[in-house]
Amino acid sequence: MRKFLLAVAFFSVAAFAEKSELKISKQYGLGYLPLIVAEEHKLIEKHAKAAGLGDVKVEWATLSGGANANDALLSGAIDLVSGGVAPFVRLWDKTNGKAKALLALNEAPVVFVSNNPKVKTVRDLSDKDKIAVPSVKVSIQALTLQLAVSKEFGIKNYDKFDHLTVALKHPDAYAALSSGSEITGHIGLEPYSEIELLNPKNRKVFSSFDLFGAPHSTNLVWTSEDFYTKNPKLAKAIVDAINEADSWIDAHRTEASDLYLNAYSSKEPKEVIQKIVKTVTYRSKPTENITVFSDFLFETGAIKTKPKDWKELFFDAVEK
């Protein structure tokens, strides 16, 4: 009987054991600074151990574009991915809500920078323009262009300039815009837009904050319902780790800038990075106007289901 009870106890623990190895992805840009801090300071490992999960091994990957992130999550290659709101909402819809966001990362503008002197608004775009975005059609940058175009030309013409977009990683897009290549524009995030605007030949065409009239959550971390339900303590530990990272950034803006530069072996101007880090809001709770993106995707037929509010898009680990 004793051996039987021990066996039952063992299999019960095994059945409910949470993952001891975790794979998570980040992307390029200061929007992912909380993840960089969590990686460098081993904050997920710290909070996992505090939650009684023992030594959890965390493996990090750097991807480019939400489409790649979604593919990695669906294939099981990554447990949690990060990226812009647009590709996440598409996956939420595609999986009938089986993929949800665990937390938000930041409130940072999506900015369109052009080196074409004729382009002052989206109305000035022509076939002579080539605009770099992380993922064509599906990235938050591509979606922001569509939003801007719909404001100028009407919702029926939202994709009027999609054919001008080219898929490039942010660092590659910045280099292309600066080198006189065929790329005439880059819709990106900080620090790239700020650095690009240091060049007097470049100008800001629009910012998503200007389009919406308010800041919005830009980048998120999302995962599958299967991962979340099987790893509730680990999911909470990840949120706690990012909250600690956010608090650390708030208290150590200069050090956080250095951490970013070292993590990417970046040659970007230190003073520019410090300036940007002081202005970006990092917090895990999303802004309610995040549904502007999902509403637009529903209106244009890109998704079949329209979430009632932001809470439908998130797991309960983020305070609602």
Give 123: exposed, middle or buried? Use CB within 10 Å, 0-12, 13-18, 19+. Answer: exposed
Amino acid at 111: V
Q: Residue 265: is its pLDDT beyond 50? A: yes
Show the 3-state SS of 248-275: HHHHCHHHHHHHHHHHCCCCCCHHHHHH
Q: Tell me what the pLDDT averaged over the chain comes to.
A: 91
pLDDT over 90 percentage in the chain: 79
Reported as half-sphere exposure (CB side, CA atoms, 13 A), residue 286 has a value of: 30
Per-residue pLDDT tens digits for 180-212: 899 999 999 888 899 999 999 999 999 999 999
Structural Rg of the chain based on CA atoms: 21
Topology of the domain comprising 111-212: D-Maltodextrin-Binding Protein; domain 2 (3.40.190)
Percent of the chain with pLDDT over 70: 94
Give the residue-averaged pLDDT of 1-6. Answer: 44
Q: Residue 317: what pLDDT? A: 58
At 3 the pLDDT is 41
Average pLDDT over residues 47-72: 92
Q: Mean pLDDT across the stretch 124-130?
A: 97
User: How much is the pLDDT for 318?
Assistant: 61
The yes-or-no verdict on residue 243 having pLDDT over 70 is yes
DSSP states along 88-152: HHHHHHHTTTSEEEEEE--B---EEEE--TT-SSGGG--TT--EEESSTTTSHHHHHHHHHHHHH
Which pLDDT belongs to residue 308? 92
Judged against a pLDDT cut of 50, whether residue 15 lies above it is answered with no
- Asked if residue 106 lies in contact with residue 34, where contact means CB atoms within 8 angstroms, the answer is yes
Distance CA 94, CA 79 (A): 18
Q: Give strand pairing partners of 187.
A: 112
Establish how many alpha carbons lie within 13 A of residue 202's alpha carbon, considering only the half-sphere containing its beta carbon: 25
pLDDT band at residue 63, thresholds of 50, 70 and 90?
A: confident
- Rounded average pLDDT over 230-251: 97
Return phi, psi of residue 299, to 5°. Answer: -65, -30
User: Is pLDDT above 90 for 241?
Assistant: yes
Task: Give the model's confidence band at 6: pLDDT under 50 very low, under 70 low, under 90 confident, else very high.
Answer: very low
Beta strand ranges found along the chain (DSSP E): 21-26, 57-62, 80-84, 99-104, 111-114, 131-133, 165-167, 185-188, 203-207, 219-224
Q: pLDDT digits over 301-313, tens only?
A: 999 999 999 999 9
Residue 4 above 50 pLDDT? Answer: no
What average pLDDT does this structure show over 234-243?
A: 97
pLDDT of residue 59: 97
Residue 64 pLDDT: 78
Q: How many CB atoms lie within 10 A of CB 253?
A: 16
pLDDT interval class at 101 (50, 70, 90)? very high
79: how many CB neighbours lie within 10 A of its CB? 23
Residue 28 pLDDT class (50, 70, 90 cuts): confident
Task: Considering the chain, tell me which residue range(s) the CATH 3.40.190.10 domain(s) occupy.
Answer: 20-107+217-313, 111-212
Which amino acid appears at position 216 of this protein?
H
Alpha-carbon distance of 107 to 215, in angstroms, equals 6
Region 154-158: mean pLDDT is: 96
Residue 2: per-residue pLDDT: 46
Taking residue 176's Cβ as centre, other Cβ atoms within 10 Å add up to: 18
Residue 52 has pLDDT above 90, yes or no: yes
CATH of domain 20-107+217-313: 3.40.190.10
